[in-house]
Chains A and B, each alone.
Chain A
Amino acid sequence: MHDKSLRELATGLRNREFSSSELTRHFLDRIGQHDSSLNSFVTLCEAEAMKSAEAADRLLAEGDGHVLTGLPLAHKDIFCTRGVKTACGSKMLDNFIAPYDATVVEKLSAAGMVTLGKTNMDEFAMGSSNETSFYGPVRNPWDTDLVPGGSSGGSAAAVAAGLVPVATGTDTGGSIRQPAALCGVTGIKPTYGRVSRWGMIAFASSLDQAGVFTRSAEDAALVLQAMAGFDERDSTSLDREVPDYAADLSASVEGLKIGLPSEYFSAGLDDTLRDVVDQAIKEFERLGAEVREISLPNSGLAVATYYVVAPAEASSNLSRFDGVRYGYRADNPVDLEDLYKRSRGEGFGREVQRRIMIGTYVLSAGYFDAYYLKAQKVRQLISDDFRKAFESVDLILGPATQGPAFRLGDKLDDPVSMYLNDIYTIPANLAGLPGMSVPAGFVNGLPVGLQLIAPWFAEGRLLSAAHQYQQVTDWHRRVPGDFS
């Protein structure tokens, strides 16, 4: 059952080939068998999952239910889940039982999906290798000596290994697209504001956006449809109708104008990965797309811009963790300042502390103009580059990463080299654009991803282009040998 798509599983449920309870049991058993080598789950909700599966089976027996009813799912541990530990990869929240559900959780539960558990992640979503988690690193199912990418590494690895057919994620600078690429699964980050951030633990609020990991674009369309939509509880939620993503899937690529940003194909890109992307470009041409070179001249400044804006927002967002209302509290504080300082010093890991300090520094008196204001100006230039590019093309295509997965520990002691992992994914976040990573081939036996970026609000175009590509390729069907 774990080699089937969501669409196939939904059909199987309706044709009584198997029940949701059997399906749920099957995936829980696979997690039990295989996850010790991956560490992709941090919390399992076995009893609750079996209960929801039974409820789904009753609905299905009556001929009711949503297309997703009875299908298993995992949530990145950044989404609040009522009554279930929500730790966000941090010691700070190791004792946090969320008192409410995130909108994403609420919506997917309302559609009848069965939550199997919560997936591992970089602490507070800060990382590109899933090594900053308080619960230990996640390993890549294609080679367990390698990282799965981050920060949504647990979700990507779990879907790649067939431990769950779909998992949620969040993407602030590439945290869905980069792990999707390194694990060989399909991952989409919609337009900023498309999916509610309510109940999603905040990292950088002007960049954070929720999305999903699946095997195929068709599956992603089904789940995104149920997640997306206006939510008055999120002050930056997009008040705009959600397109019918599944209906859009059949849109032809014929005549679609695809731009290749020269900056995404310059020094630093692995040669073999470049060949893989070139092959994908040829596929799109065979499908009738018109490909042309474009320029995003300021994209080289995206990483620098991000490492001002994101830490600045993180330093304010994470000021809520003070040891008073919830989360970790240091023992025997002598006074209030000692309570704050030691709770935060002991509760946050190194990468989070680094980013809080960078953020505090760039916002501090005397430095705000030189750093934060300057970065927001450059951010506008980066966004303007995209706006200009989309005057002449419908879609932008390039690599999702510079190379395939790297070894655990390789970049952990060098923050800057870790940050450069997201060189191709960060620009879309800065501009608020939807982006996607689609399995496109292999480099030395390791999966790599093709990145597609669409204009604002046009994630439907991303999904249809990816779907058409997946009709003529089978990279998204490849599974790591140890988990077949």
Chain B
Amino acid sequence: MSLTPDEVKAVAHLARLALDDADVPRYATELSSILQLVDELEKAPTDNVSPMAHPLDLSQRLREDQVTETDQRELFQEIAPSTGDGHYLVPPVIE
């Protein structure tokens, strides 16, 4: 499998990554070489194999739905790029 520059742009959009147009052809070449490596998997017969769900074959631990964390909003917002009145600020979303 190889990726065209347009496909790279589409994937970058899905991943919300701004790429320089000048970098796109190089990414197309590099990502294609990685996908070629990955294509080896096609050879493996896996008809009756279940996909691994957990490396130790364990199921997910559950807990009671109780509040265990304390409110640390101020501490966490100290390191935020932009806040106001206890909110995280972003550019306007609704006109």
Contacts and interface: CB of A to CB of B under 8 A. Distances in A.
Interface string B5-45: 00010011111111100000001001101111111111110
A308 B88 contact: no
Given A326-B79, A356-B17, A381 B44 contact: yes
Interface string A365-390: 00000010111111111010000000
B67 interface: no
Interface in A196-234: 206-207, 232
A380 B14 contact: no
B31 A380 contact: no
Nearest to B33: A416
Contact of A377 (B38, B40, B46): B46
A206 B54 contact: yes
B79 A301 contact: no
A333 B46 contact: no
Contact of B82 (A315, A329, A377): A329
B55 A432 contact: yes
A241 interface: no
A238 B56 CA distance: 9
B86 to A, nearest CB: 13
A376 B63 CA distance: 27
B31 A357 contact: yes
Given A325-B76, A378-B46, A383-B55, A333 B91 contact: yes
Contacts of A345: 17-19
Contacts of A324: 80-81, 88, 90
Interface stretch (A23-31, A48-56, A336-344): A336-344
B16 A415 contact: no
Interface of B: 3, 8, 11-19, 27, 30-31, 33-44, 46, 49-56, 58, 60-61, 63, 72, 75-76, 78-82, 88, 90-93
26 contacts: A95-B79, A99-B76, A235-B60, A236-B54, A301-B40, A308-B41, A329-B81, A333-B91, A334-B91, A341-B13, A342-B18, A344-B18, A345-B17, A346-B18, A354-B27, A354-B34, A358-B34, A360-B14, A361-B11, A361-B31, A374-B41, A376-B52, A380-B50, A416-B34, A416-B37, A432-B56
